[in-house]
Amino acid sequence: MSDRNLLVGPFNRVEGDLEIRLEVADGQVAAAYVNSPLFRGFEPMLLGKAPQDALTITPRICGICSISQSAAAAQALAAAAGATPTPQGALVAALLHGVENMCDHLTHFNLFFMPDFARPAYQGRDWHDHAISRFTAMQGSGLRQATEARAQLLHIVGLLGGKWPHTLAIQPGGVTRAPTARDRIRISSTLAAFRRYLEDVLFGAPVEDFIALTTGEAARNWSTGDAGTFMQIADDLGLASSGPGPGRYLSFGAYPMEDGRSFGPGLWEADSWRAVNTDEIGEDLSHAWMLGKTAHPRDGQTEPDEDMSDPGYSWCKAPRLAGQTIETGAFARQVVDGHAMALDLARHGSSVFARVAGRLLEIARTQVLLEKWARDITPEARFLEQVAVPQEGVGEGLLEAARGSLGHWLRIEGGKIAGYQIIAPTTWNFSPRDAGGVPGPLEAALVGAPVAEDEDTPLSVQHIVRSFDPCMVCTVH
Amino acid sequence: MVPVRPETKMGPVGGRQLSQIETFYDVMRTQGITRRSFMKYCSLTASALGLGPAMVPTIAHAMETKPRTPVIWLNGLECTCCSESFIRGAHPLAKDVVLSMISLDYQHVLMAAAGHAAEAALDEAMEKYKGQYILAVEGNPPLNEDGMFCISAGKPFVEKLRHVAKDAKAIISWGACASYGCVQAAKPNPTQATPVHKVITDKPIIKIPGCPPIAEVMTGVITYMLTFDRLPELDRQGRPAMFYGQRIHDKCYRRPHFDAGQFIEEWDDENARKGYCLYKMGCKGPTTYNACSTIGWNEGTSFPIESGHGCIGCSEDGFWDQGSFYDRVTDLTQFGVEKNADQVGLVAAGVVGTGIAAHAAVSALKQAQKKSQSSKEEV
């Protein structure tokens, strides 16, 4: 087999632009370089603006996870003001955010990930005809059902947030919309309809049955619904040994409420949990087209290197936790939260299979959470506290977007934004090399992926890239 | 029930043979859409465009007999919110139909092909439908540093945009990014993000601003253009008058409270619970032309003001650099409810010549068609 270099991209069915350079030797990837070719400069443009404007500007980093960005901005502002949202405000914010995350997972599975299995290259496999009818891009019956179910579920965001994408309702002190008893009923009935979709179509069984699985083996044996189709395909193609991760899983914890976070925060490594100290975060710029030194995001700057000089090869910075790469996302979140099935999968290492199975697990668990939150809405309560933004202050907003850990670091001086740094989930997962030459998580995951002699856009690479559910517009922003 | 076969009515189009002509109705049938759904779709379209029931047969006839207008959809510097808004479409049927019509050519976010195959599909669509296709642009090109901040397939997006625009019949600028620049063009505009009409100056361009635009507006406009093969009536800024003719304020359900001087003074206060006006909380409804207060968001569920937050004016040029989003509008001049953006603009600027741009755009589109047809006939 000949050695060669491949330039894979642009990737469609990915939010934003992505290009990957592959060094191929002996029929497999020997090294990968991930380039995020889109830079807009949100961090510099926030400087000098009124702090509250972050609530409107940062969501526009991304049209698919805009509520995550808006909630992180609200949290950073609240932290700077030393305030917390009202309990019911936090509850409604969680509902809004949970619905968005659910929709993102559904979009990923049906519109971005599964269509690759309908490709002609898989002709002759037992499942191929079924994959074609369910998941052919833009036409498959599964795609239509998912898009429809998602649009219905987003009515909840419409109701509570006025519009989606780019919802404005989440504020440092809570949410602008105080739901009525009537809203509560409407939300519950929308959730009931969504449960029917999940149980009839995606899982083919009660979501509780999927949540009750305790081992990777049990997940692999799941046979009903579209989830069952995925398990069958994953088994046939050996996706459980494709695209390994660094074995360190990060979660900032999802859905902050009065009594803690519904999916707990932490770092999982070598079968043990530890708390995350965000002081250990550093953004390395050695291989990014960015000027400056490695810095904590509190002190970080974003100054693009207009010469795009070597050894830089991406606009993406390289965040590291205590100097190490980490994997973040739905699977990492379920591992850190300690779900038995996720932990069992983690013991065998992260993979394309584990990431998608983790996402399915989270869909099931989120449905149960959303239903509980809807029941807990108390229309008489206060949903928003006035929060006076201070003239001087710093704040950190940490939460879990659909694709993983999202952090906003805000510094206010003289009543204006003097520093604003954002680390998005895909910034972690798709980061370039650091000063020590250590590749980012995706770059490492691609090493060893098989590339056939006649392949220019290797299928194995497509599956691995999409298993992370990248959001490139968030990555660099 | 048997539809009239299109080829009995149409001459050759785009250099293709009679038997190969593909109409909208053909496309819908191959997508499994029934006759009944098709007629329903025509009624929906008529009502969405404010055309009335008498137009339903006209739309149906056009869709049965006219060749399908191809659409190429490009993504530049953006956040994909326009695609996101679009795919949760208005009515499920409208979304299905419109998606199936535009999906056949090139759509970056949703299409099946990847990498070089996708680029090849783009070239093929451009070649096959030269001068016939509509180019829909989501996002905009950043011009700083020779366009290096947005690279697609190894080239700056601005080059791709110019290349694809060259043979387009008309251009749709989706959203605030393509229309005006949007937040990524906020001071100091680090990448020099530039709206489409400042880069492409020789094609009719219709702007559908909003961040994102309302799904129904997107499907409505594209259906109108595909059905009637012309741009809808535009205002002086190049927006379709049917959707951007009135201010949010004019049709806002909280307007009576504004008129009565009943305002929310702070978040979640007594007045907020009563649904008073958000003007003092920085609502930009009085200066924003869009259809949010009539069509609503997420299939008519609600819109930002209904969720208790003021309008930020995301369909207006420069909304991102007007001071804080929570500052009160101070340059508010009272106009009557029925004034449209042109009239207000004229009063403000004292200019005459309403609609010149709009008419020019429409005739340019028609000319572009004529030119391409006559050149085909000469061959």
How far are the Cα atoms of A154, A180, B21, B235 from residue B214, in angstroms, in the given order? 14, 25, 32, 18
Whether residue B334 is predicted with pLDDT greater than 60 in this model: the reply is: no
Among A282, A266, A435, A386, smallest CA distance to A334 is for: A266
- Residue B23 confidence (pLDDT): 80
Q: What is the pLDDT of residue A2?
A: 65
Q: Across the interface, which of B103, B114, B320 has its CB nearest the CB of A12?
A: B114
CA distance A53 to A167: 13
What is the ipTM for the molecules in this complex?
A: 0.83
Cα(A246)–Cα(A366) distance, integer angstroms: 26
Instruction: Tell me the chain B residues in contact with residue A168 when contact means C-beta distances shorter than 8 Å.
Output: 304, 307, 309, 312
The answer to whether B282 contacts chain A (CB < 8 Å) is: no
Instruction: For residue A404, name the pLDDT band (cuts at 50, 70, 90).
Output: very high
Confidence band for B179, pLDDT divided at 50, 70 and 90 = very high
Question: pLDDT value at position B180?
Answer: 94
pLDDT at B106: 72
Nearest-neighbour CA in chain A from B301: distance (Å): 6
Of A7, A45, A133, which to mutate for an interface test with B (greatest number of B Cβ within 10 Å)? A45
**Lowest-confidence segment of A401-405, A473-477, B24-28, B97-101 by average pLDDT:** B97-101
Element (H, E) at B273: helix B270-273
What is the C-alpha to C-alpha distance for residues A60 and A420, in angstroms, rounded to an integer?
Answer: 15
Say whether the peptide bond before residue A265 is cis (omega within 30 degrees of 0).
no
- Three-state SS at B138: strand
pLDDT of B168 over the 70 cut: yes
Contact residues, chain A, for B153 at CB < 8 Å: 9-10
Residue B332's pLDDT is 58
- Predicted confidence (pLDDT) per residue in A355-385, tens digit: 999 999 999 999 999 999 999 999 999 999 9
| Orientation of helix A340-347 relative to helix A330-337, angle to 10° | 110
CA closest to B273 among chain A residues = A178
Q: Locate all alpha helices (DSSP H) within B66-168, ordered by sequence.
A: 81-87, 92-102, 115-128, 144-147, 157-166
Q: Does B112 touch chain A (CB under 8 A)?
A: yes
Q: What percent of chain B lies above the pLDDT cut of 90?
A: 36
Domain covering A4-467, topology: Cytochrome-c3 Hydrogenase; chain B (1.10.645)
> Which residues are CB-contacts of B45 (< 8 A; sequence separation ≥ 6)?
B51, B59, B94, B220, B223, B224, B227
Show me where the domains of chain A are located: 4-467
For the ranges A175-179, A370-374, B336-340, the lowest mean pLDDT is seen at B336-340
Mind telling me how many Å the CA of B305 is from chain A's nearest CA? 7
Mutation for B interface: A163, A164, A301, A474, most B CBs within 10 A:
A163
B198, pLDDT greater than 90: yes
In B, minimum Cα distance to A8 occurs at B115
Query: Which of A173, A233, A186 minimizes the C-alpha distance to A387?
Result: A173
Q: pLDDT tens digit string along A183-226?
A: 999 999 999 999 999 999 999 999 999 999 999 999 999 999 99
Q: Render the burial of A123-157: b for 16+ CB within 10 Å, e for the rest.
A: eeeebbebbbebbbbbbbebbbbbbbbbbbbbbbb
Burial of A328 (0-12, 13-18, 19+ CB in 10 A): buried
User: Is residue B171 within 8 Å of residue B178, measured between CB atoms?
Assistant: no
What average pLDDT does the structure give for chain A?
94
Dump pLDDT digits (tens) for A333-353.
999 999 999 999 999 999 999
- Tell me whether B328 touches chain A (CB under 8 Å): no
Q: Look at the pTM and tell me if it is higher than 0.90.
A: no
8 Å CB contact between B138 and B76: yes
- Cis peptide bond upstream of A115, omega within 30: no
Q: Which of A241-250, A460-469, B227-236 has the lowest mean pLDDT?
A: B227-236
**Per-residue pLDDT, B95:** 63
Per-residue pLDDT, averaged over B202-211, amounts to 94
- Provide the pLDDT for residue A447: 97
3-state secondary structure A148-207: HHHHHHCHHHHHHHCCCCCCCCEECCEECCCCCHHHHHHHHHHHHHHHHHHHHHHCCCCH
pLDDT band at A297 (very low <50, low <70, confident <90, very high): very high
Specify whether the backbone of A227 is left (phi greater than 0), alpha (psi in -120 to 50) or beta: alpha
CA-nearest residue of chain B to A13? B109
Q: Is B27 on the interface with A (CB under 8 A)?
A: no
| Whether B235 contacts chain A with CB within 8 A | no
Interface mutation vs chain B, best among A43, A47, A60, A302, most B CBs within 10 Å:
A60
- Which residue of B lies nearest to A144 if distances are taken between CA atoms? B96
Output the CA torsion sign for B353, B357, B358, B363: positive
Best probe of the B interface among A166, A313, A389, by most B CBs < 10 A, is A166
**Cis bond upstream, residue B188 (ω within 30):** yes
Judge contact between A224 and A203, C-beta under 8 A: yes
Q: In this model, does residue B377 exceed pLDDT 50?
A: no
Q: Which one has a higher pLDDT value, B17 or B39?
A: B39
What pLDDT score was predicted for residue B238? 93
Tell whether the model's pLDDT for residue B347 goes beyond 60: no
> pLDDT over 70 for what percent of chain B?
74
Q: Do A13 and B114 make contact, defined as CB atoms within 8 angstroms?
A: yes
What end-to-end distance do the CA atoms of chain A give, in Å?
40
Q: Nearest CB to B188: which of A17, A44, A148?
A: A44
pLDDT value of position B300: 84
pLDDT band at B267 (very low <50, low <70, confident <90, very high): confident
Q: B358 near B235, Cβ under 8 Å?
A: yes
Q: Per the structure block, which two tokens stand in for A154?
A: 């987003």
Q: A475: closest CA among A46, A13, A38, A8? A: A38
Least confident of A118-122, A363-367, B91-95, B151-155: B91-95
Task: Decide if B114 touches A, using CB distance below 8 A.
Answer: yes
Nearest Cα residue in chain B from A473: B79
Which DSSP symbol is given to A38?
B
Mean pLDDT of chain B: 78
Q: Do B81 and A166 touch (CB under 8 A)?
A: yes
Read off the pLDDT of residues A46-88 as tens digits, 9 standing for 90 and up: 999 999 999 999 999 988 889 999 999 999 999 999 999 999 9
How many residues make up chain A in this entry? 477
